[in-house]
Chains A and B, each alone.
Chain A
Amino acid sequence: MLRTWRYFLPLAIFFGLLWFLYTGLSLNPREIPSALINKPTPIFALAQLHSPEKKLGNADMKGKVWLLNVWGSWCVSCRYEHPFLNELSKAQVLPIIGLNWKDKPEDAKAWLAKFGDPYTASVSDLDGRTAIDFGVYGAPETFVIDATGMIRYKHTGPIDATVLSEKLLPVIRELKKS
C-alpha cells in the first residue's frame, strides 16, 4: 500500500507544479489590486473642466453612490469605452464624475464635444497629483464610491458591456440598496 503511494508522489508533485505555472501564466500582470478598496476617497477639490471657476471634490459627492472615471483625450482605450459610458449616463444610474488626467482642457472639451459627454461633471487634474492619490497607473480606470465616501470597487482598463453588466452594475446595485 505504502509502496504504490510512493510511486504516485512524483506525479502529484509534477501536477502541483503544473498548476502553479499555469495559474501564473493565466494571471494578468497589469491588473494590480488597488490598495484603496474599502478606504476613504482621497481628498480633492479640482477645477471643473467646463467651468474652471467652480471647484468639485469628494466632499460634494457625499451621500451619493458615484463613479469616478479617469480619462484623457490622449488615451486610446478611453475612446473604446466611451460609448458604454454614454449608455450608462443615458440610463441615469448614478452620477459619473470624470477625472480628466494630464490633459489640455481645450483638447478635452473638443473630445467630449465630438464623442458625447457622459459626465455629470469633469474635473481637470492638470499635474496628475490627484490621480497619484487614487493610485492611478493608466487610463482608463473607474472607481465605484459609496454614499459614505468609501471606494468599494475599481476597474482597470476600458469598460465594455460585459464589465458593465457583470462587474460594475451589480456592485452599484448592492451599494444603492444599503
Chain B
Amino acid sequence: MKAIARIFLANAIPGAEFGAFVAWKARQCLTFILIACAFAAHAQTPTPEMAPMSPELEVRLKKLETELRCLVCQNQTLAESPAGLAGDLRREIRLLADQNKSNEEIKEHLRARYGDFVLYRPPVDGKTWLLWFGPFFLLIGGAILLWIMNRRRNAMMQTVAPVDADALQRANAILKDE
C-alpha cells in the first residue's frame, strides 16, 4: 500500500500544479478503496447455521440490521452486506435477541465495541451537534440576512424624493415639444 502511494507521490508532488495534486489525491483514495475491498473479500469465512427463528423475530432483527452499519463495506447496512464480519455481527445480534435483549440494548452492545460509527443514525452529543443542527443554523442565518437586505432596500426606496407636480408638468411639456 505504501509502495503504491509512493509511486503516486513520486510522479505527482514536486512542483506540480494544484489540479494535478487533486487528481493524485483522488487516485490515492480510489486505490485505497480497491485494495481495502480486496482485503475485505478475504475475511469471508462461513458462519455456522443457527436454529430457525420465528417470523416476528426475523422481521424485528431485519429492521434492526438496517439501522446498523457494516464496518467492512462501509456504505452497506448489516442486513445487506455479504462481508464475513457482517455475518458474525448478525449472529451476535441473534444471540443477544435470544437473551431477550431489547433493540436499544443490542445497539448499545455494538456501540460499546464499535463506536458511534456502527449506528446509521448518529446520537446527538457534543461531537455531533454541529452535524445535527448546523443546517438549521444556516437556514436561520440565511433568513436573517435576507430580512436585513430587504429592509435596507426598502429604506433606500423611501429616500428617493417624491417627484413634485410642477417638475412632472415641465417634463411632459418638453417631451411633447420633441
The size of the chain A interface, using a CB distance under 8 A, is 28
Interface residues of A in 110-154 (CB under 8 A from B): 127-129, 131-135, 137-139
Task: Annotate B44-83 by CB proximity to A: 1 below 8 A, 0 otherwise.
Answer: 0100100000000000000000000001101000000000
For residue B20, CB closer than 8 A to chain A, the reply is no
Could you tell me if B113 and A28 are in contact, using CB atoms closer than 8 angstroms? no
A160→B6 CA distance, assembly (Å):
15
Could you tell me if B42 and A25 are in contact, using CB atoms closer than 8 angstroms? no
A173→B170 CA distance, assembly (Å):
95
- Most chain B CB within 10 A, of A28, A33, A135, is at A135
Could you tell me if A25 and B114 are in contact, using CB atoms closer than 8 angstroms? no
**B residues less than 8 Å from A1 (CB atoms):** none
| Closest chain A residue to B114, Cβ basis | A135
For residue B9, CB closer than 8 A to chain A, the reply is no
Could you tell me if B39 and A102 are in contact, using CB atoms closer than 8 angstroms? no
Could you tell me if A137 and B71 are in contact, using CB atoms closer than 8 angstroms? yes
Interface residues of B in 104-141 (CB under 8 A from A): 111-117
A76→B74 CA distance, assembly (Å):
20
A128→B89 CA distance, assembly (Å):
9
Could you tell me if A137 and B85 are in contact, using CB atoms closer than 8 angstroms? yes
For residue B36, CB closer than 8 A to chain A, the reply is yes
| Closest chain B residue to A104, Cβ basis | B45
- Most chain B CB within 10 A, of A29, A36, A76, is at A29
| Closest chain A residue to B85, Cβ basis | A137
For residue A51, CB closer than 8 A to chain B, the reply is no
**A residues less than 8 Å from B36 (CB atoms):** 30
Residues A132 and B111 in contact in the complex (CB < 8 Å), given A32-B117, A77-B39, A138-B43: no
A77→B40 CA distance, assembly (Å):
11
Contact of B92 among A76, A102, A132 (CB under 8 A): A132
A29→B88 CA distance, assembly (Å):
22
Could you tell me if B88 and A128 are in contact, using CB atoms closer than 8 angstroms? yes
Residues A102 and B84 in contact in the complex (CB < 8 Å), given A76-B39, A138-B43: yes
Contact of B89 among A74, A102, A132 (CB under 8 A): A132
Could you tell me if B32 and A28 are in contact, using CB atoms closer than 8 angstroms? yes
| Closest chain A residue to B95, Cβ basis | A129
Q: Closest approach, in angstroms, between the C-beta of B30 and any C-beta of chain A?
A: 12
Q: Interface of B with A (CB < 8 Å)?
A: 2, 25-26, 29, 32, 36, 39-40, 42-43, 45, 48, 71-72, 74, 84-85, 88-89, 92, 111-117
Smallest CB-CB A-B distances: 5 pairs: A35-B115, A137-B71, A135-B113, A102-B45, A128-B88
A–B pairs, 26, beta carbons within 8 Å: A30-B32, A30-B36, A30-B74, A35-B113, A74-B42, A74-B43, A74-B45, A75-B39, A75-B43, A77-B39, A102-B45, A102-B88, A127-B48, A128-B45, A128-B88, A129-B88, A132-B89, A132-B92, A133-B113, A135-B115, A137-B72, A137-B85, A137-B114, A138-B40, A138-B71, A138-B85
